[in-house]
Structure 1
Amino acid sequence: MEDSGNKGLEQLLEKLKEYLNTRMKLGKLTLIEKGVYLFSNLITDGLVVIFLILAFLFTSLALGFYLSELLGNSFGGFFIMAIIYFIFALIIYLIKDKYLEKPIINGMIKKIFKNEEEE
């Protein structure tokens, strides 16, 4: 009678070990999946940002040359562009705490937990 009790306990312990190993493997795979998802998003979003920066840069140069031509002064157009960018930077600095940081943080959190919402 005691022998069957030990067998039952051994089987229970064996099943518990299997369960814990399976849960650990599942946790590792879930962590890897989230890491790969975040890395791929970082790469694709990074490429989009690079191309947007390039487009912005060339548009700024074109506008600077155009304004320089309109003013008849080779430095004037670029000086006006610098003033415009300074004003944009000042505006962004003044509104960043209230309007920019929270949406960025919320967007990042949504990306991290996106797969859990789909399941």
Structure 2
Amino acid sequence: MSETQTQTQEQERKVSPDLLALLKEYIATKVELTRLTVIERLTVVTANLITDSFVLIMGILTFLFASFTLALYLGEEFGSYALGFGIVALLYLTLALVMYFIKDKLVEKYLHDFMVKRIFNKKK
């Protein structure tokens, strides 16, 4: 063997462990980055769920008390609390029917888009 071939083989032996070490470090870094990305997404989704749930509960309570207020007010105006609550019930039935007929075209598409944007929203 010539001296040049011997030096090349020695250099390959030196490079190979270094290359192997770099490859192991790259893989470890990539795994850690993936783990941290998953953790970040989970924390964002969890925080959004908690805050959105709180807002939803407060909205439902507000809606409930506003409904009772409207029903009692209409009951006083018409002289019958049963009539006041009946009018409010008919109002909600009307709204439910309208929602039933427009949900496929308008509401579901908007909600799907909204949820996908919320889940995959990246911090800026």
With normalisation by structure 2, the TM-score equals 0.87
Residue 91 (structure 2) pairs with residue 84 (structure 1):
yes
- The equivalent residue for 2:3 is none
Q: Residue 32 of structure 1: CA displacement?
A: 0.5
Percent identical residues: 42
Number of residue equivalences: 117
1:5 aligned onto 2:12: yes
Residue 22 of structure 1 aligns to which amino acid in structure 2? Answer: T
CA deviations 1:16-61 (Å, max 9, x no partner) are 1110110110011011011101111111111111111111100100
Question: Which has the larger displacement, 36-45 or 5-14?
Answer: 5-14
1:105 counterpart residue number: 112
- Cα RMSD (Å): 1.4
Q: Which residue of 2 is the match for residue 93 of structure 1?
A: 100
Letter in 1 for 2:20: L
**Largest Rg, 1 or 2:** 2
Aligned match of 2:4 = none
- Whether 1:70 aligns to 2:77 is yes
AA aligned to 1:81 is V
Over 6 Å off, 4+ runs: none
SS at structure 2 position matched to 1:115: coil
The question of 1:61 aligning with 2:64 is answered no
Show structure 1 runs of 5+ residues with no match. none
Q: Provide the C-alpha distance between the structure 2 equivalents of 1:102 and 1:14, rounded to a whole number of angstroms.
A: 50
Aligned to 1:21: 28
* Alignment TM-score, normalising by the size of structure 1: 0.90
Between stretches 93-102 and 107-116, larger displacement belongs to 107-116
